[in-house]
Amino acid sequence: MEINGKWYYFNPIPDGTKGILYANRRTPDGWFVTEDGNRYGKSR
Protein backbone atom coordinates (compact mmCIF):
# COMPACT_ATOMS: atom_id res chain seq x y z
CA MET A 1 0.00 0.00 0.00
CA GLU A 2 1.36 3.42 -0.90
CA ILE A 3 1.01 6.12 1.77
CA ASN A 4 2.44 9.62 1.20
CA GLY A 5 4.78 8.38 -1.53
CA LYS A 6 6.19 5.46 0.49
CA TRP A 7 5.28 1.78 0.14
CA TYR A 8 4.24 -0.33 3.13
CA TYR A 9 3.31 -4.01 3.42
CA PHE A 10 0.44 -5.17 5.63
CA ASN A 11 -0.20 -8.85 6.26
CA PRO A 12 -3.11 -9.93 4.02
CA ILE A 13 -3.56 -13.38 5.60
CA PRO A 14 -6.59 -13.85 7.89
CA ASP A 15 -4.69 -15.80 10.55
CA GLY A 16 -5.18 -13.45 13.49
CA THR A 17 -2.40 -11.14 12.26
CA LYS A 18 -4.19 -9.72 9.21
CA GLY A 19 -3.48 -6.02 8.72
CA ILE A 20 -0.34 -5.97 10.87
CA LEU A 21 2.51 -3.91 9.38
CA TYR A 22 5.62 -5.85 8.40
CA ALA A 23 8.72 -4.17 9.89
CA ASN A 24 12.47 -4.80 9.72
CA ARG A 25 12.23 -8.01 7.68
CA ARG A 26 11.40 -9.46 4.28
CA THR A 27 7.83 -9.64 3.09
CA PRO A 28 6.46 -12.89 1.62
CA ASP A 29 6.93 -11.48 -1.89
CA GLY A 30 10.63 -10.75 -1.28
CA TRP A 31 10.82 -7.04 -0.43
CA PHE A 32 12.78 -5.81 2.58
CA VAL A 33 11.00 -3.32 4.83
CA THR A 34 12.71 -1.03 7.35
CA GLU A 35 11.93 -0.68 11.07
CA ASP A 36 9.19 1.84 10.26
CA GLY A 37 7.69 -0.54 7.69
CA ASN A 38 8.78 1.41 4.61
CA ARG A 39 9.73 -0.77 1.64
CA TYR A 40 13.45 -0.46 0.94
CA GLY A 41 15.56 -1.43 -2.04
CA LYS A 42 14.83 -4.09 -4.59
CA SER A 43 12.89 -7.30 -4.29
CA ARG A 44 14.67 -10.58 -3.75
Tens of pLDDT, residues 2-35: 899 988 989 998 999 999 999 999 988 888 999 9
Classify 33 as helix, strand or coil. Answer: strand
Q: How far apart are CA 17 and CA 41, in angstroms?
A: 25
Mean pLDDT of 35-40: 89
Q: What is the pLDDT of residue 15?
A: 94
Q: How confident is the model at residue 44 (pLDDT cuts 50, 70, 90)?
A: low
For the chain, how many residues are written?
44
